[in-house]
Amino acid sequence: MTYRSLIINFIKMKKQTIFSILIAATLILITSCNSKPSADNYLQDETQRKEIISAIVHHQPYMIEMVHEMMDNDSCKQVMMDNMMMDPSMKEMHMNMMMNMCKDDSSMCKMMMGKTMEMCEADSTKCKMMKSSMQSHSNVMRSMKGMCHMDSLKK
């Protein structure tokens, strides 16, 4: 082999090596760009998780989407209800909302009264508590008694 052919072979090998390295780098780059981290990966970092939650809470469309997702999950609804009932102000707000719904919707009022009666039938302690509450509203009770008496006369 001549000196010239050795140089040509060396250049060819160098080109093949460079080409192989470029192909390997391209494949690595493509696979690393296509790998998408999971939501769990994002949420593992406490700082990043707090930033994500804060961004959702402070952006109305995201917050609405999150609430809809939470309401579609039974265990999530239970956790929210449990937490709400532990907070006296949230409990009062919930009760006020229920009362306003009763005032605005007679079928809701009827359902709530029915549930209250079922509770009294199932729990004597709650029934005694309700009787005591009713005694402090004697005018309403007399009025209801009169209505019941009127209903029996119509039949």
Percent of the chain scored above 90 by pLDDT?
A: 26
Phi, psi of 35 (to 5 degrees): -75, 120
Query: Model-level pTM greater than 0.75?
Result: no
pLDDT of residue 137: 81
* Cβ 96 vs Cβ 104: under 8 Å: no
pLDDT of residue 136: 83
pLDDT of residue 111: 92
CB atoms within 10 A of CB 90: 14
Tokens encoding 52: 């994500």
Q: Is the pLDDT of residue 101 over 70?
A: yes
Q: What is the mean pLDDT of residues 109-132?
A: 89
- List Cα–Cα distances, 55 to 51, 59, 102, 118, in angstroms: 6, 6, 36, 44
